[in-house]
Structure 1
Amino acid sequence: MQKPRYLAWLIASLLSVCYGLFHLHFLQRALDHDQVVYLVNMLVFRPERPFFNPHHLAFESSGYWFIGVVRDLLPAPFSSDVTFILRLRSLLIACFGLFCACMYVERLTGRLRWAVVISIGLGLLHGTLYHATKIDTGIFPLAWCFPMLWAGQAVRRARTRRRLLFQSVWAGLIFFVGILLHQYLSLLATAIALALLLPLPGLRSSMHGSPVWRWPAVALMTAVTILPTAGAYYYAGHINYRLRFDKPDPGAAVGVWRHRTFQEWLFAYQVDGHWGKGFSEFRPEANVRGIVDVFVSQRRLRPKYGENYTFEFELARPFALEPLAFNAVAYFFLGTLTLLLLEFPRLVRRLDADLFALVFGILFLGALGAYFEPFYFEFWLVPVSMFFLLGGLLLATLLDRWSGWMADSAHSLAAALFLALAFFWGAHNLRYYLDSYSRLILLEGMAEWEPEYYERFQSRAIYRNPVDPRAHAGP
C-alpha cells in the first residue's frame, strides 16, 4: 500500500464535512411508511430481547445504541428529536463513504483532482441525496462499498508478506461489517475476492503474485469474513430467536419470525414472495426506471418512486433544456460502455484487479437489483454509483496515454467537464427533490397512522421552513 498522502486525507475530510453541512441545511423532513417502521423498531428495541432483520442484521441494533449515545451528547431540542438523531446517523455514514470514495479514487488514479470530482459527483446523484438523511437502509451499503473496494485495493498492493497478512485480515473484517449492514454486500465481497484471484499482470509485482501467496491471502480474507458473519447470524437466528434448522417450531421460537426455520429467516426477503419477481416478470422499463432514478429526480411535485414508467427522455432533442438531465444519463451510459469495450485491454493493464472488482461488483449487484425490486432505485443505488465511479475512472485513465503539459491540460479540462455534469445533475436534484423535501413532513403511505403518532418523534424547531405537517410547501 502506498504511503499516506496527507493532502488527500485533508481534502477528502474537508469534502465530507462540507457535504454534511450541505445536508444539514437541506435536511429532509419527509417521513414515509418504511422510515416510521424502522424508527419504531429502534425505539422498542430491548437488549434483553433484541430485534434482528436478516436483510440488514445490525441496522436496528446499531440505531438503538446510537440513539442512546447521541441523546446524552446533544442539547435540546436535538436530543428529543429521534428522527433528527437517526438522520444524523445516516448522514455520518454517507460522509464517511464519500471520504473513502475520494481516497480510493486518489490511490487508483494518483490524481487528487479526479478523486474530488468523482466524489462530488457521487454525492450529488439523486440516489445519494435521497438516502443520505433518510431513516432507511439504502445509504449504508452505498457508503460501505467504498471502504470495501479500498480494502481490496490494499490487499492487491501489499508488498511484503507481513503487510499481506495484515491487509487480508483487515479486509475480511471490513467485509464482515458490510454484510451486517446489508446482506447483499456479500456479493461485492465475492466480486473483490474473485478479482484478486485472477492471474493478472499487475499481481506479479504485488501480493507476491505467485498462487503460493495469492490464494492463501484470499482464503484468509474469506475466512475472516465468513466466520464472524456465520457466528452473528447463528446468534441472532438460533440463539436469540430460537429458530430450528429442520422445521418451524412456533412454540419454542420467539419473535415475529417464530413461524419460520432458520434458513427461511436467513433468506426471508428472498422467499417472502413479495420481492424477487424481476426475472420471472421481467420488464425492461422497470430496470430503466430504477437506474435513471439513481441519477436524477423525477420532475414532479411528489414523485412516485415505484412502478411509474413515464420517462422524460427526448433523444430527438438532445440539447433541449427540459429533458437534458435525463438525456445526459443516456449519453453517460452509452459513452462509458463504449469506452469500456474499446479500451478494455489497456484498462486491464492500468487498473488491474481494481477494474475487475468494479465490473464484477456492478454485474453481481446489478443482477440482484434486476431480480429483487427493479423498479425502485434502492437496489440499484450501489451498482449504478459504482458505474458512475467507473465512468470517471475510465476517462482519467485513458488520458494518461498523453504526457507532459498536454496530459495535465487534458486532465484539467476533462475533470472540469465531468464536474460540470455532476453540478448540472445536482442542480436538477436540488430543485426537484432536495429543496422541496426539506420542507415536506408528510408523504403518501402514512394514512394508517394519525399525524399525532409520528409528529411526536420530531421537533419543528430544528428544521428550515417549519410548516403545517398536513400541508406541502413547494420549492
Structure 2
Amino acid sequence: MLKRSLESLEFLKKIENVFRSPSIWIGFLFLSILSVALFLFDLRFLSRHYDWDSIVYTHNIVTNRYWKVFFNPHHIGFESTGLLYLKFWYWFHGQDSAMFGLRLRVLIVATLFIFVLMLAYWRLYKDLLGAVLLGIAVHCSQGFWFYAQHNDTPLIHSCFTAGLFLLCVWNSKNGWSPGKLYIAGFLQIWNVYYHQSDTIFLTFVPVSIFLASRWRGKGFEFSYKLKLIFIYLFSVIFILTVSYLYIGFIILDRNLTAPPESEKNFANWLFLYASQEKWGAAPGPKNYIMNFYRGIGDAFLNFEGVKNGLRINANEFTSFRSFPYNLNLGFWIGILFLTFINIRKLWNSYKIELILLFFWLIPSFVFYTWWEGYFFEFWVSSVIGLLIFAFIVLRSIEFENFKFGIRSISHIILFSYACLLFLVNFTYSTFPRSERSKASFIEGIEDKYQAITPEPVYKNE
C-alpha cells in the first residue's frame, strides 16, 4: 500500500515537462516575474495600521508561550506557525520589528497564492491574459488586499480554501491518485487549523472524487469512490480530533470537570466564541440582509468613511460617493444576467467548477451571514470564489466562430473592473495606511501596543 502510494507521487515528475515546452516555461517565468513585482509593490505600500486583532495576535506570538499561541482554538495554526516564523525572523533580521516581520509572512503567502491562482487558471483554460486579470482582480479586492498587509487571520485560511478548490477542480478533470489525495488532505487539515469555520468545506474533496472519471489514469468505479471518500473523511476528521484533544487536554491543561463558563473547561475553550455569547451567538435581533450586504460589499470595495446603510444610489448614479458602488453592482448584475441567458452552455462546459463553487459559496453565504456577516474579514474567501465564477461566466459566452473577438471584449470588461477595484482600494485604503504609523481600537491593550512598537525597520519612527 505504501509503495503504491509513493509511486503515485510520480505525477510530480511531470513538472519537469514545463521546461521542455518554450510556451509553458515562458508563461511560467512571466507569471513569476509578475508575482515578484506585485510583492515589491505591496511591500512599498505595506500597511502601518495597528488595530486590535493585529496587536493581540502579534503579542501572543511575541510572548513565546504555548498557552498564548494556542489560546484561540478557532485558528490554532495562525499563531503557532507565527511563533516558528518569528524565530526565523529574529535569526534573519534581529530582535525587533516583530509586527513588520509577521506582516511580511502574510504578504508572502498572499503573493504565492496569487501566483498559484494565475498559474492554475492559465493551465486550465489556456488564457494567460485572463489569468493575469483574475489575479489582479482578486488581489485588488478590498478584503484580500487589506488582510494581505496585516498580521491577522482572514488571509491565509482563505488562500488555503481557494487552493483546495483549485486542486479539486484540477483533479476532477485530470484524475485522482493516492499522492494527490495526500496533498488534498494536508491542505484540508491546515485549512481548518488556520480557521475552525472551514470545516464547512470538508465536502470539497468528496464531491471532487464523485465528479472524477479516472483514478491513477484508469477507470474509477463508484464503489471505489465511496471507499476512498470514507477513508479520506475518517482520516481527516481523526487527525483534527486528535490534534484538538491533544492541544486542549495536554498543552493547555483543559478538563471536563471545570464549570462550563470557566476557561479551564475544554468545551468552553473549543467553542470559545459561541460559549462567550459573542459573535454569531450574541443575543439580540439581527438584520441578516444588511449584514450580508455590508460585509460582502466591504470585501469588494473600500469601506472607509462610509456609514452603515446603502452605498448604492441609482438616483445619483455618477455622484462621487455612490459611483464606485453603483459600478460594482452593475458588474454583478451583468454577470447574473449572462449566467441566466447562457446557463445551458455554462453548465455543459463548466459543470465541475459550478458544482464545486456551489459547495464553496452557498455554505459560506449561509454560515457567515448568520455568524457575523457585517465584518468583511469573513468574506475574503467568498470574494475569491465569486471572482472565479465571474471569469468562468464570461468565458462561457465565447463561441467558436467569434472566440477571440468575444474574449477581447471579456478581457476589456474584466480589465475595467480590476481597475475599479485598484483605484478605489489603493486610493482610499492601501495608500493612506502606508503613509504613517496609526493605531485604532486599542483601548485596554495599550501595554501590548507599546510592547511591539516602535518598529525600527521604519527609519522615521
TM-score grouping bracket, smaller chain normalisation: 0.7 to 0.9
Displacement after TM superposition at 1:459 (Å): 4.5
Cα RMSD (Å) of the superposition?
Answer: 2.8
Asked if the contact 2:335/2:390 (under 8 Å) is kept, the reply is: yes
Q: Point out the more displaced range, 222-231 or 116-125.
A: 222-231
Displacement after TM superposition at 1:444 (Å): 2.8
Other-structure match for 1:426: 422
Displacement after TM superposition at 1:135 (Å): 1.3
Q: Point out the more displaced range, 262-271 or 138-147.
A: 262-271
Other-structure match for 2:452: 457
2:84 paired residue among 65, 76, 88: 65
Does 1:267 find its partner at 2:262? no
Does 1:232 find its partner at 2:243? yes
- Following the alignment from structure 1 to structure 2, what is the Cα–Cα distance between the partners of residues 101 and 280? 39
Does 1:213 find its partner at 2:237? no
Displacement after TM superposition at 1:277 (Å): 5.0
1:22 paired residue among 30, 41, 44: 41
Cα deviation per residue 1:68-95 (whole Å; 9 max; x = unaligned)?
1122112x6xx51011001001101111
Other-structure match for 1:295: 300
Asked if the contact 1:56/1:183 (under 8 Å) is kept, the reply is: yes
Other-structure match for 2:344: 345
Cα deviation per residue 1:265-310 (whole Å; 9 max; x = unaligned)?
222223331111599623422211111101111352xx6xxxx513
Other-structure match for 2:179: 166
Asked if the contact 2:52/2:442 (under 8 Å) is kept, the reply is: yes
- Following the alignment from structure 1 to structure 2, what is the Cα–Cα distance between the partners of residues 155 and 248? 46
Cα deviation per residue 1:424-468 (whole Å; 9 max; x = unaligned)?
221111111111111242333123344x7524524455448x47x
Other-structure match for 1:365: 364
3-state SS of paired residue (1:173): helix
Q: Name the CA shift for 1:88/1:207 in 2 (closer, same or farther; >3 Å).
A: farther
- Following the alignment from structure 1 to structure 2, what is the Cα–Cα distance between the partners of residues 330 and 360? 24
Asked if the contact 2:174/2:214 (under 8 Å) is kept, the reply is: no
Does 1:329 find its partner at 2:333? no
Displacement after TM superposition at 1:321 (Å): 4.9
3-state SS of paired residue (2:149): coil
Alignment-mate amino acid for residue 15 of structure 1: L
Other-structure match for 1:126: 142
Does 1:376 find its partner at 2:380? no
Alignment-mate amino acid for residue 92 of structure 1: I
Asked if the contact 1:90/1:140 (under 8 Å) is kept, the reply is: yes
Does 1:157 find its partner at 2:173? yes
Cα deviation per residue 1:134-180 (whole Å; 9 max; x = unaligned)?
11101112221222112212331344xxx522212221111111111
Q: Name the CA shift for 1:320/1:47 in 2 (closer, same or farther; >3 Å).
A: closer
Alignment-mate amino acid for residue 292 of structure 1: G
Displacement after TM superposition at 1:50 (Å): 5.6
- Following the alignment from structure 2 to structure 1, what is the Cα–Cα distance between the partners of residues 418 and 285? 36
Runs of at least 5 residues in structure 1 that lack an aligned partner in the other structure: 251-255, 468-475
Q: Name the CA shift for 1:106/1:435 in 2 (closer, same or farther; >3 Å).
A: same
Displacement after TM superposition at 1:322 (Å): 4.3
Other-structure match for 1:38: 57
Q: Point out the more displaced range, 235-244 or 430-439.
A: 235-244
Asked if the contact 1:165/1:217 (under 8 Å) is kept, the reply is: no
3-state SS of paired residue (1:313): coil
Alignment-mate amino acid for residue 189 of structure 2: F
Other-structure match for 2:193: 180
- Following the alignment from structure 2 to structure 1, what is the Cα–Cα distance between the partners of residues 278 and 68? 27
Other-structure match for 2:254: 243
Q: Point out the more displaced range, 188-197 or 390-399.
A: 188-197
Asked if the contact 2:31/2:115 (under 8 Å) is kept, the reply is: yes
Residue correspondences, number: 440
Asked if the contact 2:67/2:251 (under 8 Å) is kept, the reply is: no
Does 1:84 find its partner at 2:89? no
Displacement after TM superposition at 1:9 (Å): 3.2
Displacement after TM superposition at 1:48 (Å): 8.5
Asked if the contact 1:155/1:207 (under 8 Å) is kept, the reply is: no
3-state SS of paired residue (2:397): helix
Displacement after TM superposition at 1:257 (Å): 6.5
3-state SS of paired residue (2:70): coil
Displacement after TM superposition at 1:259 (Å): 3.4
Q: Point out the more displaced range, 226-235 or 206-215.
A: 206-215
Asked if the contact 1:155/1:171 (under 8 Å) is kept, the reply is: no
Q: Name the CA shift for 1:47/1:373 in 2 (closer, same or farther; >3 Å).
A: closer
Asked if the contact 1:297/1:433 (under 8 Å) is kept, the reply is: yes
Counting only pairs closer than 5 Å after superposition, residues 193-212 of structure 1 correspond to structure 2 as 193-197=206-210, 203=213, 208-212=219-223
Asked if the contact 2:165/2:204 (under 8 Å) is kept, the reply is: no
Q: Name the CA shift for 1:416/1:67 in 2 (closer, same or farther; >3 Å).
A: same
Alignment-mate amino acid for residue 154 of structure 1: W
Runs of at least 5 residues in structure 2 that lack an aligned partner in the other structure: 1-10, 19-23
Displacement after TM superposition at 1:38 (Å): 0.7
Counting only pairs closer than 5 Å after superposition, residues 399-418 of structure 1 correspond to structure 2 as 399=398, 401-403=399-401, 406-418=402-414
- Following the alignment from structure 1 to structure 2, what is the Cα–Cα distance between the partners of residues 101 and 126? 18
Cα deviation per residue 1:318-364 (whole Å; 9 max; x = unaligned)?
44554221112211222222333443332232123222111220111
Alignment-mate amino acid for residue 41 of structure 2: F
3-state SS of paired residue (2:254): coil
- Following the alignment from structure 2 to structure 1, what is the Cα–Cα distance between the partners of residues 64 and 206? 35
3-state SS of paired residue (1:57): helix
Please report the TM-score for the alignment, with normalisation by the length of structure 1: 0.84
3-state SS of paired residue (2:452): coil
Asked if the contact 1:32/1:443 (under 8 Å) is kept, the reply is: yes
Which structure is higher in helix share? 2
Q: Name the CA shift for 1:413/1:207 in 2 (closer, same or farther; >3 Å).
A: farther
